[in-house]
Amino acid sequence: MRWSDEITLIHAELDTDGEGFTVRTLGDRKTIFANRKSVGFNEFFKAKQAGFTEQMKFDIFAVEYAGQTVAEYMGKQYRILRTYEDPKKPDELELTLSDLSERGGGANGV
């Protein structure tokens, strides 16, 4: 693998603003090296059925992930839809990303 892509992992929390609206607050940011992967045909359609569009997937080193819920790649922020640990690669973790503006990714979802 190349490990030539850089993504930024971001901790995000939900807060309430002065008018009582729920807003996302972005916290600590950590830029790491990753390996971008393609989204499979079957995965794409399963995500679509659940109301999401899988945008992209990345392999990262597992020790660098600490439960962040937002990732930034090339200036755009994405929701970390899921993580996957492959037993054959215990040092790596696969992140599946989705557009923040989609279902569950707006201010009501971290």
pLDDT tens across 58-99, in order?
999 999 999 999 999 999 899 998 899 999 999 999 999 988
The pTM for the full model equals: 0.77
Residue type (1 letter), 7: I
The overall longest dimension of the chain from CA atoms, in Å, is 49
Residues in the chain: 110
Asked whether residue 42 carries a pLDDT value surpassing 50, the answer given is yes
Q: How far apart are CA 63 and CA 19, in angstroms?
A: 39
CATH 3.30.110.30 fits domain 5-99: no
Neighbours of 100 (CB within 10 A): 21
Q: What residue spans of the chain are helical by DSSP H?
A: 41-49
Helix (H) or strand (E) holding 76: strand 76-84
pLDDT tens across 1-33, in order?
588 999 999 998 878 888 888 887 888 999 999
